[in-house]
Chain A
Amino acid sequence: MVGQNGTTPCADLEADLVLLHYGDLDDNARARLQSHSANCAGCSAYLTELAALLPLTVTTDAPPQEFWMDYNRELRHKIDAALESKSGWRSLTAIFTPRYVPVFATAAVVVLALTITFGNRLWSGKQGASDDELSQALPVAENLEFFRAMDVLENLDLLKVMGDGIKDAA
């Protein structure tokens, strides 16, 4: 606390000196600190510096009267808008109130049951084969074609043999 060289304040009093500058100390503390500062060059210089510096940091703004009229009008609109939006939300959320839950649940069950019952019938006819089924069926179909072609060839051979037999007979 003591022994400052005149350029720096007493370290343990610095925070209180800030409050002294702002006038935010009780009477006893203020009297004690003022008495100390009167005899301490460091603390005295610190107070002088605060008095010069801190007022520079205060930024004031004094809007005209019209500003406050606009301010109030705008704020009222914002409050109304908040009420309106909440009112909209309320009507939307009102349908999810507990008393409607059984109705929605019943409707959902009915829709599900109808979908399962009629859906299979309607879709089974329209539904095409899946890709796997197609990939399995296609080679078989190709084989069938091959065997059919073979049958035709065999038939041709048969006709030829028969034709030869008739010729021989003639």
Chain B
Amino acid sequence: MACLAPAEELEIFRRPLHSDASTRVSAKGRASQLAHSGDEELVALAQQGDRRAFEELIERHEQKAYHIAFGFARDREEAKDLSQEAFLKAFSYLKKFDGRSSFYTWFYRIVVNVCLDYKRRAKRTAAGEFDETIESQMEPSHNPARPLAPEQHVLAGQLSRKVAVALQALPAKQRTAFILKNNQGMSVREIAETMETAEGTVKVHLHRAVTALRQSLAELA
């Protein structure tokens, strides 16, 4: 799975944070302190071996990481595994994070790379096969307050399948730009930072992705 960093980079996290009763008393205060710290502070603490600080980072970013992964995998379990793998990689490489970009940019780059690797592996093994069990878990954007009627559910399933196939057919960079924009609502600048490319390039990827999807899904519009 994840290729991990040298042992000493992980070893710092083995140090217990709250080893005795006196420190346990202040655990609540510390949790509150961490909750109010910025990402940069938490990263700095985690780099010094503070595992609780890293767990705070997990709590902050787990939902977004999961949803990015879900955009790629379109499967709950896969998305869980992929986002967790991304956290493990971030955990292992945290010492190498130099703060040139923000933590979330750096971390979401890891998430995207893990997802693209997964897609490459999936392509090799399943050759673009679409799993019906995945379809059953997917619900295209709709108002959750209004449950779908049975026939609408069938249509939603068919739509999901077509969208999945259309997305699958996109080149990796176009798919990434599209998912980060369309599913996550990230700005072009954030996407550019995450993909380590120019904003103009992201615009081109996005436009091409939308054009391709428009052609693939023309009859649904």
Contact = CB atoms under 8 A, between A and B. Distances in A.
B221 interface: yes
A161 B141 CA distance: 124
B203 interface: yes
Interface in A80-100: 82-83, 85-87, 89-90, 93
A40 to B, nearest CB: 17
B100 to A, nearest CB: 24
A87 B11 contact: yes
Interface string A57-77: 111111100011001101110
Interface of B: 2, 4, 6-8, 10-11, 13-14, 51, 55, 58-59, 62-63, 66-67, 70-71, 74, 76, 79-80, 84, 87-88, 91-92, 137-141, 144, 159-160, 163, 166-167, 181-183, 185, 187-188, 203-204, 206-207, 210-211, 213-214, 217, 220-221
A58 B70 contact: no
A58 B182 contact: yes
B67 A71 contact: no
Contacts of A89: 7
B171 to A, nearest CB: 16
A31 B8 CA distance: 55
Interface stretch (A12-20, A119-127, A137-145, A147-155): A12-20
A74 B87 CA distance: 12
A82 B91 contact: yes
Interface stretch (A48-56, A109-117, A128-136): A48-56
B58 A75 contact: yes
Contacts of B58: 72, 75
Interface of A: 14-15, 18-19, 22, 24, 49-50, 52-63, 67-68, 71-72, 74-76, 78-79, 82-83, 85-87, 89-90, 93
A49 B183 contact: no
Given A55-B141, A56-B217, A15 B203 contact: yes
Given A58-B182, A68-B62, A14 B221 contact: no
Contact of B10 (A18, A58, A78, A83): A83
A134 B18 CA distance: 78
B137 A61 contact: yes
Contacts of B11: 83, 86-87, 90
